[in-house]
Amino acid sequence: MKTLSKVFTVLSIMVMALAMQSCGRITANSIAEDLNKKCPINLGDGVELTSVTAEANNVVYLYSVELSEEYDVDDIISDESKPAAVQSLLQSAKTDQEAQELVDLCKTVDMNIIYRYKNLTTGNVKDLVIASSDLK
């Protein structure tokens, strides 16, 4: 399950990078509005980016996940997922201008990135929050 968790994290970062390509002046609303126009996005393996919203000063990516009844979102998104997600984002920021702008914006305006995973089978929801303080 650790591998599946890392796959979800990497997919999330890739989708976020896609959103950043078409944003000029980056804000939580502009990121959400731009990417939400492209939703839903099927990421394969039963994962779909359903919507992107701005809640307060957070960008929230809502993923729908089809899991068998023996697994739930708590099984694939764990405490181990967050460091990998943060590391992937910071690594992307070293080579990708848009990712660097997102990291800078998060630090400057105290913006969080929330990956919200909803299990379509059980209805359970799990958030993976990357706080601005995690990016420093």
Residue 7 sits in a domain whose CATH number is 3.30.300.250
Q: Rounded to the nearest 5°, which phi and psi values hold at 36?
A: -65, -25
Report whether 127 contacts 114 (CB < 8 A). Answer: yes
Task: Please list the pLDDT of the chain residue by residue as tens digits (136 residues).
Answer: 555 555 556 555 555 555 544 444 567 787 778 778 888 989 888 889 899 888 887 888 899 998 877 888 888 888 788 999 899 889 988 998 767 877 888 888 888 989 899 999 889 999 999 999 998 8
3-state secondary structure of 72: coil
Number of domains in the chain: 1
Q: Rounded to the nearest 5°, which phi and psi values hold at 39?
A: -80, 150
| pLDDT for position 35 | 76
Range of the domain at 131: 2-135
Q: What is the pTM of this model?
A: 0.74
| pLDDT for position 20 | 47
Query: Is the preceding omega at residue 83 within 30 degrees of 0, hence cis?
Result: no
Q: Rounded to the nearest 5°, which phi and psi values hold at 94?
A: -70, -25
Give the Cα separation of 128 and 32 in Å (integer). Answer: 17
Q: Rounded to the nearest 5°, which phi and psi values hold at 48?
A: -135, 135
3-state secondary structure of 90: helix
Give the Cα separation of 59 and 52 in Å (integer). Answer: 7
Nearest alpha-carbon partner for 15 in 89, 86, 100: 89
